[in-house]
Amino acid sequence: MLSRHPSAVDVETVVADFRRRGWARLGRVASAETLEELRARADDIMLGRVDGARLFFQRDSESGRYEDLVFGRGWEGPSLSYRKIEKLETDPVFRAWLGNPLFERVARAVVGDAVSVYRATLFTKSAEGGTVLPWHQDGGSFWGLDRDPELQIWTALDDAPEEAGCVEVVEGSHARGLATPLGGTIPADVAGREGAEERRLPVDARAGEALLIHNMLWHRSGRNTTGAPRRAFTVSYIPASTRCTRRRRAPREFLRVF
């Protein structure tokens, strides 16, 4: 699955960079065959050619505005305009990729020896443009965990230059913790006070490249103007001892991967 042997990657240096900046490049690590398989699987899932009953779906907003997203509809029929597909740790193809031995080395270095998956998600920006994702953090009480996660590994399935809506970050912002106890979207007044727009750093990526992203890092992405799809698969790894704290429904159980 990998384009190079896991031992050829200097994981210690990459993790040190991640801890300092809040993100780091792992390099182009997915083989051409793996990319082809993951892209085909993504299309099959969105077009309903495989069973997606266990998955969570959300369509793009018609306007491309995040504020206009509709929640709670799930699968709405075959379409390549789904913005987000979650629970891909239950899919055999994506499950195989998130459990590869290089990601295992990274996850153990950051999280510890016992590692589970909080979520495994396909984020897509369709050829029609997709939806803007505003500044946000992936943690806080909204996530319903007994501790905030740290590590996400993001894999580009397609080239992701700035014009395709690449990830943008505020480097070092992870060090200050949560902007709000709830987590999620950064309030506009907080983003303005911290100069997020002036400090934004576009992080372009080539197909097959993986990035480490700290959950507390402020990050966002714009619309895709290339006329080609921009798909990325991101996995949030957590200590296996992490517990779900939600009360309205039965607490979630997380897949142990390492």
| Residue-level pLDDT at 192 | 96
CB 1 within 8 A of CB 96: yes
| Residue-level pLDDT at 248 | 81
Alpha-carbon gap, residue 212 to 17, rounded angstroms:
9
Tell me whether residue 155 is exposed, middle or buried, using C-beta atoms within 10 angstroms of its C-beta: 0 to 12, 13 to 18, 19 or more. buried
Q: Which residues pair with 255 in a beta bridge?
A: 117
Alpha-carbon gap, residue 87 to 107, rounded angstroms:
19
DSSP one-letter string for 149-163: --EEEEEESS-B-GG
Residue with tokens 């894999």: 155
208: left (phi over 0), alpha (psi -120 to 50) or beta: left
| Residue-level pLDDT at 246 | 85
CB 74 within 8 A of CB 56: yes
Residue with tokens 């909204």: 142
The candidate with the shortest Cα–Cα distance to 152, out of 114, 187, 121, is 121
| Residue-level pLDDT at 139 | 95
* Identity of the amino acid at 39: R
Alpha-carbon gap, residue 239 to 190, rounded angstroms:
30
CB 154 within 8 A of CB 230: no
Residue with tokens 């899932």: 45
Alpha-carbon gap, residue 6 to 100, rounded angstroms:
9
| Residue-level pLDDT at 158 | 98
User: What does the pLDDT profile of the chain (258 residues) look like in tens digits?
Assistant: 999 999 999 999 999 999 999 999 999 999 999 999 999 999 999 999 999 999 999 999 989 999 989 988 999 999 999 999 999 999 999 999 999 999 999 999 999 999 999 999 999 999 999 999 999 999 999 999 999 999 999 999 999 999 999 999 999 999 999 999 999 999 999 999 999 999 999 999 999 999 999 999 999 999 999 999 999 999 999 999 999 998 888 889 999 999
Beta-carbon count within 10 A of 70 CB: 11
Q: Which fold has domain 6-256?
A: Jelly Rolls (2.60.120)
Alpha-carbon gap, residue 158 to 92, rounded angstroms:
20
Q: Report domain extents, the chain.
A: 6-256
